[in-house]
Amino acid sequence: MNIIPDPLQVVLNMLPFLVTIVGLYLIILKPMVDYLLEREVAIQSGHDEAARIEAEINTRMSEYELQLAHAREEVVALRAAKRTEAQVKYDEVISKARTEAEAQIASAVGEIGVAHNAASIQLKAMSGEIADKIANQVLGRTLTVGA
């Protein structure tokens, strides 16, 4: 029995394994590695594209928020201006109404004063007449101014 194998026999026995390994490398391993590398590149480019889109969205969002803030400031300013304008018109209307009311009150006070004076004169005349009638009935004669 021979302990050392025949080198030609070893090479011939290794040849099918080497052919199988090279075939597997060319048929399966190399295309699979290329596919995995392409897949990794595609995934990375997808992540890069998503990051770019997200950055663009964030930029646009901040621009929109800034525009919205400006629009809100304009609305607040416009609302304050309209409120001030309405307050001025309100004050004008109230002032005009108060002026008209004061004029009507002054006119009414004047009419009341005239009516008061007229009533006072009439009451004095009537009281004089009544006093004369009472004096005539009590005294039985007519009173004269100088007597």
The tens digit of pLDDT for each residue in 113-131 reads 999 999 999 999 899 888 8
Q: Could you tell me the end-to-end alpha-carbon distance of the chain, in angstroms, rounded to an integer?
A: 192
C-alpha 34/C-alpha 82 separation (Å) is 70
The tens digit of pLDDT for each residue in 44-81 reads 999 999 999 999 999 999 999 999 999 999 999 999 99
Asked if residue 136 lies in contact with residue 143, where contact means CB atoms within 8 angstroms, the answer is: yes
Secondary structure (3-state) at 87 = helix
Asked if residue 143 lies in contact with residue 132, where contact means CB atoms within 8 angstroms, the answer is: yes
Burial grade of 50 (CB within 10 A; 0-12, 13-18, 19 or more)? exposed
- Does the global pTM surpass 0.85? no
Helices within the chain (DSSP H only): 7-24, 30-139
Contacts of 132 (CB under 8 A, 6+ apart): 142, 143
- Give the pLDDT confidence score for residue 136 in this predicted structure: 82
- Give the pLDDT confidence score for residue 145 in this predicted structure: 63
Contacts of 95 (CB under 8 A, 6+ apart): none
Give, in order, the Cα–Cα distances in Å from 12 to each of 2, 21, 25.
Answer: 18, 15, 20
